[in-house]
Amino acid sequence: MPKYVLDSNIFIQSVNREYRFSFCSGFWDLLQDLYQNDVICSIKTVKRELTQRNDDLSDWVKNKLPNNFFHNELVAGYEYGRLMQWAYSNLQFSDNAKQVFADENRADAWLVAYAAKQGMTVVTHEVLEPYIKKAIKIPNAAQHLSVPCVHIYDFLEKVAKGNFERK
């Protein structure tokens, strides 16, 4: 079982900013290597988010990542329910933030629930924002279920060396 589950923003932000396909193929090769060595995975809702556009990232996901890279998050229904109870009973968050977080077609809540169910760590670009009202961030939700959550750069320090080689 993989140790880390990746948020969709790992792929989206990386391809649009730091690790573009045009000059940083090592990052993308590392992701494939980490998957092949059972270190990382993601969930099917993330795949839907990544493949809804007709772009280079969508093509890469379809052509370079096998279907079993993306696990079925529905096994974490109980944990998902716990997150929804927490979100809706929490007076800190706006009604809109709760509605967005509860959208079953969005990956954030499912990602945290799946990590809780499987004993995994979530990898994301998001950071904990204890006083945020307008959104429910992954690290905030993860903290509620005692799910470890790491930023992409901390993750890379743990799993990579040199020019995106697996440790």
Q: Where are the domains of the chain?
A: 4-166
Residue 102 pLDDT > 90: yes
Query: Strand pairing of 4-6 and 40-43?
Result: parallel
Give all strands (DSSP E) within 58-135, no chain letters: 70-71, 121-124
Q: Which CATH architecture has domain 4-166?
A: 3-Layer(aba) Sandwich (3.40)
pLDDT band, residue 59 (cuts 50/70/90): very high
pLDDT tens for residues 148-165? 999 999 999 999 999 899
Kindly calculate the radius of gyration of the chain based on its CA atoms and give it in whole angstroms. 16
Kindly report the pTM of this predicted structure.
Answer: 0.95
